[in-house]
Amino acid sequence: MSGAELTAAVGRGDEQDVRRLLEAGADPDTLAEDGLPVLCRAITAYEAGVADALVEAGADVTRELADGTTPLTRAVDGGSPAVVKALLGRDPLLRLSEAAREALLARARRWYRDGAEAGLRRRTGAAGPVERATVMDDEFHRVTELTLGGVTVRAGHGAVLTDLEWALRVLTPVDELVARAVAQDDPEHVDRSAAQWVLYQRRSNETWSAVADRHTSPSPTERRFALDVLWLHLMNPWLSWRHTYEKETADLLVAWAARGESDTAVLTELLRVLGDAEHPHVPAVGLRYARHPHPRVRAMTPDLLVLWGDGPAVLAGPEARAVLLDLATDEDGDVRARAGAALGAVHDGSDPALTDAVVTLLGDPAPETRAAVAEAVAHHTVHAPAVADALYTLLDSADFRTRLNATYGLLRRQDPRTEAAVTRLGAAPPGYEEDHRVSAIWHWTWKRDHPDDA
C-alpha cells in the first residue's frame, strides 16, 4: 500500500478514504513530503475525524519530532478540543507516562493562562493584526480561530485543559470549571460545553451541590450555566449507573421557579428546562408564568400545562385548559404557535372550544404560527372535519414544510382528499431524504400505484 495515497487522502481531509486505506494496510505513521507524520497534517488542518482514524489505526501520538514536539503536544498547542480528544484516544492513563501527562497539563495551562493570541505571537514572533474567525470545532460547538504569520490556532484551550484534566483523572475544583465556562458569553463555546459535560459526569453529591448552589448566584451568567449542567441530569439520567440526581434536579428547578428569577433570559431557559422535567408541580409553574409580561417567558409555558406521558398527552386540568385557550389568542405569534402546538397535542375532538382554537390557529395571519400548529396536529388521527378542512387549505402555502404537514395530516386521517394533497405537495427539496412524513407519503403512493402488491 503506497504511503502517497494515504498522504493525499489526509491532505484532502477525506476521512472515509483514510479509513479505507488504513484498513487495507496503509501505515498510520506514514511520513508526508515535509518529513512529518501525516497525523501532523491532520492536526494542522483541524481534521479531527481523520486524526481519530489514524490514532485508532495505531499512529504514535507521542513520537518525538525534530523540533522536540510530539503530535499530541502540537494538538494541545492548536487549541482544538476535538483534535486533542482524537489524539488522546481511549485510556490515555495507560499509554502516557506520568511525566508526559504532567507536561501536557502544564502546556495546556500555560496556553489558557496566557490566552491564544499571546501564545500565537510567542509561537510566531510576528507582529501586526491577528485575523479572527468563528468556526465550528465539532458538529455542535464553536470556537474562535486566530491566524498570524501563516500560523493558525484555535482559542479552545480552556476546553482542552478541562478535557485533559478529566481524561487524566485530575479533579479540578468546581469553582475553576465554572469560571472557565462563564468566561465565554457564547453558550455553544467549546470551553462552556467541556466544563458542562465534565461537571455532569462527576457523579458526587459534592459536585452536584456545588453546581446547584449557583442558582442563587448574583451573576445571571453563572445561573444560566448551572441550568446547562442541571439540564443534562434531566435529559441523560441513564448515562451512568450511579445516582442520576434526576429527582433532586427537578425539585430544585421547581423551587427555583416558585421563588422567582429576575433575569428574563435565565427565566426563559429555566422554564424550557422544566419542560423536560417530570414533577407534579410543573403545571403550577406554567400557570404562574403564563401571563408574564415578556413574550419569551409566556412562550415557554404551554408545554408545562400538558401532561406528557407514555400515553396520549392530556391537559393538566381545567385551569390549564382555560390558560391555553387564552394563550392561543396572545398578541405574540410565537406564544400563539406554542399554545397551538400544545392544544394540537391534546386535541381529541371531544372539546369544541379546543377544536375551534386549533382551526383558528391553522389559519393564523403569521405563517410561522400556521406551520407550527400544522406540525403539531399532523401526527394525530383524530377525526375532526374542521381540522381536516383547515389542513387542506394550507396546501396553498408557499412553504414546503407547511404543505408537507398538511398532506401528512390528511393521510393520517385517511381523508379522501389525500390524493389531491399529494399531487399539490410537489417534490421534496434537499434535506428531506430521511423524513418520516415524506417516507409515509411515498409508501402511500406506492401502494396506490401497486394495489396488487399491497
Specify if 94 maps to a domain: yes
Q: Which band of pLDDT confidence, cut at 50, 70 and 90, is reported for residue 90?
A: confident
The mean per-residue pLDDT over the stretch 214-227 comes to 96
Q: pLDDT above 90 covers what percent of the chain?
A: 81
Residues 6+ positions from 195 with CB-CB distance below 8 Å:
158, 159, 162, 177, 178, 180, 181, 225
Cα–chain center distance at 48: 19
pLDDT of residue 126 exceeding 60, the answer is yes
Residues 192 and 217 in one domain: no
More confident residue, 155 or 90: 155
Residues 195 and 209: their CA atoms lie apart, in Å, by 16
Q: Which band of pLDDT confidence, cut at 50, 70 and 90, is reported for residue 293?
A: very high
Residues 181 and 194: their CA atoms lie apart, in Å, by 8
User: Which residues lie across from 314 on neighbouring strands?
Assistant: 307
Q: Report pLDDT for 449.
A: 84
The mean per-residue pLDDT over the stretch 64-83 comes to 95
User: Which residues lie across from 148 on neighbouring strands?
Assistant: 151
Tell me which of 279, 298, 313 is where a domain ends: 279
Number of domains in the chain: 3
Cβ atoms of residues 405 and 375 within 8 Å:
yes
Residues 340 and 344: their CA atoms lie apart, in Å, by 6
Residues 379 and 357: their CA atoms lie apart, in Å, by 18
Q: Report pLDDT for 238.
A: 64
Specify if 295 maps to a domain: no
Grid cell locating 52? 481519530
Residues 132 and 112: their CA atoms lie apart, in Å, by 17
pTM, to two decimals? 0.86
Which residue segment(s) compose the domain that 137 sits in? 90-202
pLDDT in tens, 318-328: 999 999 999 99
DSSP label at residue 186: -
Cβ atoms of residues 46 and 22 within 8 Å:
no
Q: Report pLDDT for 312.
A: 79
pLDDT of residue 407 exceeding 90, the answer is yes
Residues 140 and 222 in one domain: no
Residues 351 and 453 in one domain: yes
Specify if 332 maps to a domain: no
DSSP structure string for 215-251: GG-S-HHHHHHHHHHHHHHHH-GGG-SS---HHHHHH
pLDDT of residue 303 exceeding 90, the answer is yes
Q: Report pLDDT for 308.
A: 83
Residues 163 and 84: their CA atoms lie apart, in Å, by 8
Specify if 78 maps to a domain: no
The mean per-residue pLDDT over the stretch 333-356 comes to 90
Helix (H) / strand (E) element for 131: namely strand 131-136
CB atoms within 10 A of CB 304: 26
Tell me which of 279, 296, 313 is where a domain ends: 279
Specify if 440 maps to a domain: yes
3-class SS at 134? Answer: strand
Q: Report pLDDT for 242.
A: 60
Residues 179 and 250 in one domain: no
pLDDT in tens, 394-406: 999 999 999 999 9
Residues 94 and 160 in one domain: yes
Tell me which of 257, 279, 301 is where a domain ends: 279
Q: Report pLDDT for 95.
A: 86
pLDDT in tens, 234-292: 887 666 556 779 999 999 999 999 999 999 999 999 999 999 998 999 999 999 999 99
Best CA proximity match to 61, nearest among 32, 92, 35, 34: 92
Specify if 245 maps to a domain: yes
